[in-house]
Chains A and B, each alone.
Chain A
């Protein structure tokens, strides 16, 4: 069935380096994508979103890129900090009135000192 998946389950980066987390999706009916950060024992925290009519969106230290041709989404974190250590999920919002989210399995980002 339709799904969202992540290429790498874990990612370790040095503090101060840039991080790139990738995500593949398969549902062409998705019109909205969201990246979430989840710390242990907490609910997902919104990071940044992007609509299907865009290919890039920037926030504070984060950039999301959307390539609809290959159905690929990425999250770039600039100057990664220890507080960025968490599990990152991409999610796609299915078009329609129900607006369900379909999540990938997550990538554990570990920032090394």
Chain B
């Protein structure tokens, strides 16, 4: 079966600290992978997407970066977090005409 794993579920980080959120998928090969962010009371905003290993497209300029070291692994990173980075981060995949979201990571930068 096709599944998507995203962790951690919640994270509290101080301003200026680094960030690494990981997402892995199972049950498919060569999926499109995405990172979305959702601010409180708002819709989802696409941050990055990847159509293959090592291929990253950025949609929004920011201090975040993404990497895809393996076909089924997508990582969201930051060297120094800002207060404005707080939000709900969602990993998603597109494969076989199906769009699936992970359970999300709630990041609070303090």
Contact = CB atoms under 8 A, between A and B. Distances in A.
Chain B binds chain A = yes
Interface of A: 32, 34, 36, 41-46, 89, 91, 93, 97-106
Max chain A C-beta neighbours (<10 A), residue from B36, B94, B99, B102? B99
Chain B interface mostly: strand
B68 interface: no
Given A34-B99, A100-B34, A105-B42, A41 B106 contact: yes
Interface in B69-94: 90, 92, 94
Contacts of B94: 99
B43 A98 contact: no
Contact of A104 (B43, B49, B57, B101): B43
Contact of B43 (A43, A46, A105): A105
B104 A43 contact: yes
B107 interface: no
B32 A98 contact: yes
